Structure 1
Amino acid sequence: GKKSPDLGEYDPLTQADSDESEDDLVLNIQKNGGVKNGKSPPEEIQDPDSDVEVGMTKQHTSESAPEGYPAETAGSLEQKAASSLMPYLRTAIFLLTVVISMILVLVCAFLIPCPPRDLHNTWNRNLGQGPGGVLSPLELCDVNGDGLPDILIVFTALMNASVMGVSKPSVTVMALSGMNGSTLWSIQLPEETRSLQCNGLSLGTAAEPVCLVTGVSKFLSLLSASTGKTIWTLNSVHLSSGFLAAPAATLPDVDGDGIRDIVVLALKDSQPDVFFILVSGKTGTALGGPVKYSTNGEGKVIGPQVHITSRGAIYILFGFGNVQAVALRDIFTQARNRDSFPAMLQQEEPEWEKRRSVNLSELIDIYSGGVDFLQTMKTPDTNCSNLLITTKEGLILLRGQDLEPRWTLKLQNISSQPVPGYFDADQTLDFMLQAQTGDGNKKVVVIDGKSGLPVWNQELPWQRQQLDALSVMTLDKKSVFLFWADETQPVLQSL
């Protein structure tokens, strides 16, 4: 017989229907979070004592995982999902870092301004001065910090004074922009100018570019190259009985203030003797009294030039149509009137010292006979400079170590000081010369510094006062030589 369903008789069909209803119950609980409207329906509450139903529920739940994620596997799936996002997160962080770095680089590039450049390769400037003026000397120096060399020029013109029939020179120093020729600054000087030096100076505060101006009489002053303002001026009382005979020369620091110093060569008004004055490069005050020497030369004033040998001995070169030398140690000792001197002045050069005269004079004879110009030239293979001497007959290069000739060039009527520069790529200084030919022309010649032979020459028309030339270094370590010529000459072949 068949048992009553109330007694729990097992019926396969009934059990199958029950299983399906339990599956629906489990799925509804998983999908709805097990609670509807905050309450669990009575028909969906499971009997905790029914082991079979619990087991069946777990089994069917695991089988239905593709439709609803069970609690046991949800954590592991979340971990897998999180781990799969890590590469994307790292990539995003890397790209963000790169973008930020690029933005910073671009911002810095735009914040640092580029130096302005003119649209034209050349410019012309009319200085507006009257006839009869003289443009000299000329110097190149970057005075406004734009990376381009600017032009400093001294213009001397005659102006009528208040006294009838008397004229006085009007001297103007102008700084012109190398970019477009505009005036950066302009000042008046009290007397005509012998030289204007702006390159290689470490004077004043040593923190700004400066220019050293030497007059033809008693004026010696240090100017700020950026503004033209006077930093210091030598008191003319030190030249009360004389005048400046040549451009000043810079010395190593001899007074211990950390700034290079200056030596000037002066002449007496009524006596043929010369005297040296040491000047502080920082303040412009005299370092002691004048030091007098008697000379026996005749001709053009030479020097002073500072020469430092490979042993560190310091000599001052000067002369009148000849070249003589005196140790800076001797000048310093007499100027300070004491026997002690700085350690830097204790060195001597044997090859130079043996050229002293028999009576142990302080003067050393270097070269005699028709000397017009003297220049010290750096050599690439030693720490000692050579001496380039220009005479009426040509050029001679002396080795600075032992004063022996290195080469000699025969050339007549050299009219200006040789201009050093690099014409070729051997890293040895070459020289450009200007010589008068006597027919209203001049000859421009470039001399090889290693052999003393001409490597370029050109004859040009020139019927005015002879002016010095100069050279400008290019980016490829060569030089551009600049010189004056009349406008009627044909187009020149490039150097």
Structure 2
Amino acid sequence: MANKDLEAEIHPLKNEDSKSQENLGNQSKNEDNLKSKPLQTRLSRCRTVAFFLSLFVCLFVVFIVSFIIPCPERPLSQATWRLDYSTAVTYDFLAVGDVNRDKIQDVLFLHKNTNSSDNVSRSCTDEGFSTPCAFMVAVSGANGSVLWERPVAQDVALAKCAVPHPSDSEVSSACILVGRLESFIAVNLFTGETLWSHSNTFGGNVSILSPLLQVPDVDRDGTPDLLILTREGQEVSGSIYSGSTGYQIGHRGSLSVDGDGVALLHVTRSGAHYILLPCESALCGISVKSLHERVTGRDSPFKDDSHWENMLNRSAQRRLLLSSGAVRYLMNVPGKAGQDLLLVSSEACMLLDGQDLVPRWTFSATQVLRKPILGHYKPDTLAVVIENGTSTDRQILLLDLSTGSLLWSQPLPSLPGSPPSTSLMTADHRSAFFFWGLHELLDTNEMDPQDTQHSLYMFHPTLPGILLELANVSANIVAFDAILFEPSRHAAYVLLTGPASSDMPGLVSVTKHKVRDLVPGSRVVHLGEGRSDSDQAIRDRFSRLRYRSEV
């Protein structure tokens, strides 16, 4: 302390200077603080303005989108519609596709008409045909209005729609039609306009076998090509056509088989494509590679399967497999490592390994009426539906596809010529099945098709003791299908009725009925004892079914 006092006495000004500098420093800090406060206030105000401005813009955008800009109208789909043609005949052909691109499936069918329709801008004579000729019609699945209608052939032998076409976005799908008399045409699925048209060269004594097969891209133009099988006498031949132009690739070539019936294109595990054809108590075949080399006379870019070629070379008749009876139906079905084969003969139904053709299982069924269909009895487990027996003693059989075990069976007599069964996937990963038949069988002598009605029954595996009778139809049914018109929205069935003989024109009708709307007025058929639910409770359960697209 003495030193400090002494220092102050010796240098009095120094002490005053230090104090003044401290005071000046404090004063400058205070001035800086006073200057920064207005700046911070202005920044705070700017942030507030920016926040409220952005909030206002967001609310304005929401208001515009929600209230001022109208939402796109979803097309109204009618539950029922009907389209009639008088003095006409029709074909066993129904196809679906979104023709007008409204996200609702549309219906395509064929009819042969004497009178011109109001929807036809071109007549038979405009296309070089005599009257009557065959017309293709695209009908809106939403309301039954005609989207387009045009003459396509003098008479139709084969038809196939939704064939992929080259990369042009406006022409992404086509319908291919083969006429019985020198006509081969492709039309745009969306507009009905001609994509290409040629005269076929099959000849008058040649019968055209079904179906129209789609083979790999032979001419390497980016479009799958077409294979038409014909039969003349005992010889079966094949002709390959470009899918993009319709021109024949090479010439007609013999398959070296005496088969008859419905052909099938099968892909082996090695990726080789084979044409399979029922022969006399056998299964015959030829590779697409061999046929391509025969019709063009040059090496083919496709391949054979060595195992299959060994089997074929051991038989002079190109037989792959001997059958215990005549082969009636062939189907490709999903397998564990690719396609398997479901073969139905006059003696049994069997599942064959798609590569070795070794039976996985065999089920005795001696009178299968028609080609089986697939569905799901258990969740995500494929089942096959077999209609076994004559029309009066027909039985519906559901078999597990993987094991061949019987899952469900029910006697269901039917009228001669009754439509095939079908199925639709439901949201619980099962299927709703649709069967035509007569649950209450009349006396055999009284079963006159003109007096007795076809009855449509609906079945779902969650109610194995119930059939739901949805409709009764007295007209002659030519084609039938159950369709999911909108994904996860509404399922409906489409019915094509017309004269039983092509020589007797009459009323041709196409009708659509929404399944859910038919359930409240349906009749509940109890197949056995054991359930205490009321009929109304059962109808309510069927009404709550939701459908889904198979992927």
Superposed, 1:125-136 pairs within 5 Å as 125=82, 127-130=83-86, 133-134=89-90, 136=92
Give the partner amino acid of 2:228: V
Aligned counterpart, 1:310: 269
Aligned counterpart, 2:245: 283
Give the partner amino acid of 2:96: L
Q: 1:118 aligns with which of 52, 72, 76?
A: 76
Q: 1:181 aligns with which of 131, 144, 147?
A: 144
The change in CA–CA distance for 1:104 and 1:316 in structure 2 (over 3 A counts) is farther
The change in CA–CA distance for 1:398 and 1:153 in structure 2 (over 3 A counts) is same
* 1:108-143 per-position Cα deviation (integer Å, ceiling 9, x unaligned): 7897965624365x2131x32347844522222222
The change in CA–CA distance for 1:94 and 1:217 in structure 2 (over 3 A counts) is farther
* 1:18-61 per-position Cα deviation (integer Å, ceiling 9, x unaligned): xxxxxxxxxxxxxxxxxxxxxxxxxxxxxxxxxxxxxxxxxxxx
386-395 vs 131-140, which moves further: 131-140
The change in CA–CA distance for 1:135 and 1:478 in structure 2 (over 3 A counts) is farther
Give the partner amino acid of 2:242: S
The change in CA–CA distance for 1:312 and 1:101 in structure 2 (over 3 A counts) is farther
Cα distance in 2 for residues equivalent to 1:482 and 1:217: 37
The change in CA–CA distance for 1:318 and 1:119 in structure 2 (over 3 A counts) is closer
Aligned counterpart, 1:395: 349
Q: 1:430 aligns with which of 379, 383, 386?
A: 383
Cα distance in 1 for residues equivalent to 2:289 and 2:63: 57
The change in CA–CA distance for 1:242 and 1:296 in structure 2 (over 3 A counts) is closer
Task: Report whether the alignment pairs 1:223 with 2:187.
Answer: yes
Q: State the TM-score, normalizing by the size of structure 2.
A: 0.63
Cα distance in 1 for residues equivalent to 2:267 and 2:184: 24
- Number of matched pairs: 406
Aligned counterpart, 1:407: 361
Aligned counterpart, 1:325: 285
Aligned counterpart, 1:82: 39
* 1:141-169 per-position Cα deviation (integer Å, ceiling 9, x unaligned): 2222222222222335688x9xxxxx986
Give the partner amino acid of 1:178: G
Cα distance in 2 for residues equivalent to 1:371 and 1:243: 20
Give the partner amino acid of 1:415: L
RMSD of equivalent CA atoms: 3.9
Aligned counterpart, 2:305: 348
Q: Specify the SS of the correspondent of 1:288.
A: strand
Cα distance in 2 for residues equivalent to 1:347 and 1:211: 30
The change in CA–CA distance for 1:259 and 1:449 in structure 2 (over 3 A counts) is same
**Cα distance, 1:309 vs. partner?**
1.5
Q: Specify the SS of the correspondent of 1:247.
A: coil
Structure 1: 5+ residue runs without aligned partners?
1-69, 162-166
The change in CA–CA distance for 1:334 and 1:117 in structure 2 (over 3 A counts) is same
**8 Å contact kept, 2:372–2:386:** yes
Structure 2: 5+ residue runs without aligned partners?
1-26, 116-123, 125-129, 437-453, 456-470, 473-521, 526-537, 546-551
The change in CA–CA distance for 1:450 and 1:192 in structure 2 (over 3 A counts) is farther
Superposed, 1:85-96 pairs within 5 Å as 85-87=42-44, 89-90=46-47, 92-94=49-51, 96=53
Cα distance in 2 for residues equivalent to 1:249 and 1:134: 22
Give the partner amino acid of 2:347: E
Give the partner amino acid of 2:74: P
* Identical columns (%): 25
Q: Specify the SS of the correspondent of 2:251.
A: coil
**Cα distance, 1:356 vs. partner?**
1.9
Aligned counterpart, 1:50: none
Aligned counterpart, 1:463: 415
> Which of the pair is proportionally richer in strand?
2
**8 Å contact kept, 2:77–2:143:** no
The change in CA–CA distance for 1:483 and 1:205 in structure 2 (over 3 A counts) is farther
Aligned counterpart, 2:331: 375
Q: State the TM-score, normalizing by the size of structure 1.
A: 0.69
Q: 2:228 aligns with which of 232, 257, 264?
A: 264
**Cα distance, 1:226 vs. partner?**
1.3
Aligned counterpart, 2:160: 197
**8 Å contact kept, 1:313–1:349:** no
The change in CA–CA distance for 1:435 and 1:112 in structure 2 (over 3 A counts) is farther
Cα distance in 1 for residues equivalent to 2:181 and 2:433: 31
239-248 vs 100-109, which moves further: 100-109
**8 Å contact kept, 1:148–1:178:** yes
The change in CA–CA distance for 1:149 and 1:232 in structure 2 (over 3 A counts) is same
Aligned counterpart, 1:172: 135
Aligned counterpart, 1:253: 217
Cα distance in 2 for residues equivalent to 1:253 and 1:108: 47
Compare relative contact order (CA 8 Å, sep 6+) and give the higher one, 1 or 2: 2
Cα distance in 2 for residues equivalent to 1:461 and 1:98: 70
Superposed, 1:481-492 pairs within 5 Å as 481-482=433-434, 484=436, 485-486=454-455, 487-488=471-472, 490-491=523-524
Q: Specify the SS of the correspondent of 1:335.
A: helix
Give the partner amino acid of 2:399: I
Q: Specify the SS of the correspondent of 2:344.
A: strand
Give the partner amino acid of 2:187: L
**Cα distance, 1:246 vs. partner?**
1.4
**8 Å contact kept, 2:152–2:177:** no
The change in CA–CA distance for 1:442 and 1:148 in structure 2 (over 3 A counts) is farther
Task: Report whether the alignment pairs 1:386 with 2:340.
Answer: yes
**8 Å contact kept, 1:204–1:222:** no
The change in CA–CA distance for 1:141 and 1:71 in structure 2 (over 3 A counts) is same
**Cα distance, 1:290 vs. partner?**
0.6
Q: Specify the SS of the correspondent of 2:37.
A: helix
**Cα distance, 1:257 vs. partner?**
0.9
Task: Report whether the alignment pairs 1:337 with 2:297.
Answer: yes
* 1:348-389 per-position Cα deviation (integer Å, ceiling 9, x unaligned): 242x12212437x5824234331122111233x32x211111
Aligned counterpart, 1:236: 200
* 1:160-181 per-position Cα deviation (integer Å, ceiling 9, x unaligned): x9xxxxx986533222222233
Cα distance in 2 for residues equivalent to 1:231 and 1:253: 18
Cα distance in 2 for residues equivalent to 1:97 and 1:476: 46
136-145 vs 183-192, which moves further: 183-192
Cα distance in 2 for residues equivalent to 1:406 and 1:112: 58
